[in-house]
A = this chain, B = another copy of it.
Amino acid sequence: MQKDSPAASPDSASPSDSFLALQKAAREIGAVRSASGLLGWDQETVMPEKGGNARAECQAALSTVLHEKQTSDALWGLLQNAEAHASSLSQRENALVRELKRDTENARKIPADLAEDLARTGSLAQQAWAKARSASEGAGSAPEFLPWLKKMVELKRREADCLGYEESPYDALLDQFEPGARVSAVKPVLSTLRDGLVPLLERVLAKKSEPLKAPEGLVPQPLQHAFNERLLRDMGFDLEAGRLDASAHPFTQGMAPGDVRLTTRYREDDWLNAVFSTLHEGGHGLYEQGLPNADWGTPLGEAVSLAIHESQSRFWENRVGRSRPYWEHALPVAKEMMGEVLSGETVDSVLFRVNAVERSFIRVEADELTYNLHVLLRFQIEEAIFSGALEVEGIESAWNEGMKKLLGVTPPNAAKGFMQDVHWSCGLFGYFPTYTLGNLYAAQFASAMEKDLGSLDTMIRAGKLSPMREWLRDKIHKHGREFPAAELCLRATGKPLDAGYFLKYLEGKYLG
């Protein structure tokens, strides 16, 4: 029933009325976004094979609706009204206005033709990438992908110009995933990390250990599913406000704090595979369930940034899930629930497999330590592209040199090199760094948590995970987007982001 009517003038409504109208408009946008999220979840989990075409049209229609709503003059007028009344709003209400304005401004800055070009090019370039990547496995290189990448980089440059930046065009792209992040602040942190990681890798690899075999035999998916649900329950994930399903690529879809859906991937010959996806997505899921329900649909009910989101998943997957105390508690449960097949499994055999460190080509298969070297290389190259220091034609050799320097290996072809990930083909520049920033935040949060709560290992060994979840809920989840990521970190830990915590954690883990 609501129409795009001309905005009322700032004085025509009371402060609380104008704020409520803004909140309502935000929630309507949030509700449509949530519906779109459900369509996405459904597509990856239960949609029939032949439903794809219609689903694409449904998603496109909802995107159009979202764009119309987010760029409407009515919403803009409501924002201006609310800003005019800023002094009579609470701190939290003003945060809602600030964040909604940020989103709205960003949406309004991108011209329709650019948005369309980005979407179309992304879709075509993604197909070209998939083809070229396979081709490169035989041929070594795949020059036919370069024109697509060039086009995408050009479009992203245009996008950065539309969004605006103070220092570097790359800032505008980073800011889309990590609001407030700037090259000038991120670079020193990542340099510290690199300077610590490269020698650390040498030391860790020098320390040999005897390989321990995995037990043979298959664990049926239903048994694994029950065990994975049990792990989620132990973390405090509410399965009445969420689900765990299977999909080809594990992901988390938070429709609302009361409806958060995780997926995992089961391999009957490797029961640990699902476990770590589940713990990872479970961490994301706890964040989504911990967001303030009353603010659902508005920016205050949303996660603050990708890196903070990733810090939650990495905390549970790595700090908790790859630790000895965790398996001292969880392995007997696993054996009880999944039976005979696991009888040969020991805490040591599990830890050997999930904590092995090696130099490798593929980011998504990398271990907790080397993973970040892959991301550092991405950051380095992305920054160089958008500062103008590197041309698209030079990416492949920059990649191969970087791999040699950071990881000591040279990819045999582009598929195992710069073309391994889909991200760039669909325009996701500025996205990779959030993975590693997430690891750094996770380590810093864990350190602060330990100061507040005492030994995490002692709690984990006892299966007492709820104090950790409550700490995260209180320090991170419940705030939504009220504070930017950097401020949230300062409030939660008393310090700005510092790679030292993560380096210390890795040292303790692998050399301690």
Give residues in A with beta carbon < 8 Å to B. Answer: 1-4, 27-28, 31-32, 34-36, 38-39, 42, 46-55, 57-58, 60-62, 64-65, 67-68, 112, 115-116, 238-243, 255-261, 296-297
Contacts and interface: CB of A to CB of B under 8 A. Distances in A.
A32 B58 contact: yes
Given A32-B61, A35-B35, A58-B31, A51 B256 contact: yes
Contact of A255 (B51, B238, B239): B51
A238 B54 contact: no
B51 A259 contact: yes
A497 B52 CA distance: 38
A68 B50 CA distance: 30
A35 B48 contact: no
A27 B53 CA distance: 13
A107 to B, nearest CB: 11
- For the complex formed by this chain, how many copies does it contain in all? 2
Contacts of A27: 57, 61
A54 B1 contact: no
Q: Most B CB atoms within 10 A — which of A1, A27, A36?
A: A1
Given A31-B57, A31-B60, A32-B65, A50 B4 contact: no
Contacts of A239: 48
B243 A68 contact: no
A115 B2 CA distance: 13
Nearest to A296: B54
Contacts of A47: 259
A62 B68 CA distance: 14
B258 A48 contact: yes
A57 B294 CA distance: 13
Contacts of A34: 54, 57-58
Contacts of A240: 48-50
Given A54-B296, A259-B55, A241 B49 contact: yes
Contact of A48 (B32, B60, B259): B259
A50 B3 contact: no
A58 B35 contact: yes
Contacts of A51: 241, 255-256, 258-259
A118 to B, nearest CB: 12
A3 B4 CA distance: 10
Nearest to A31: B61
Contact of A62 (B35, B46, B115, B258): B35
A117 to B, nearest CB: 12
9 contacts: A27-B57, A27-B61, A31-B57, A32-B65, A34-B57, A38-B58, A46-B46, A46-B243, A50-B240
Contact of A258 (B1, B52, B259): B52
A447 to B, nearest CB: 33
A46 B42 CA distance: 10
Contacts of A257: 54
A11 to B, nearest CB: 27
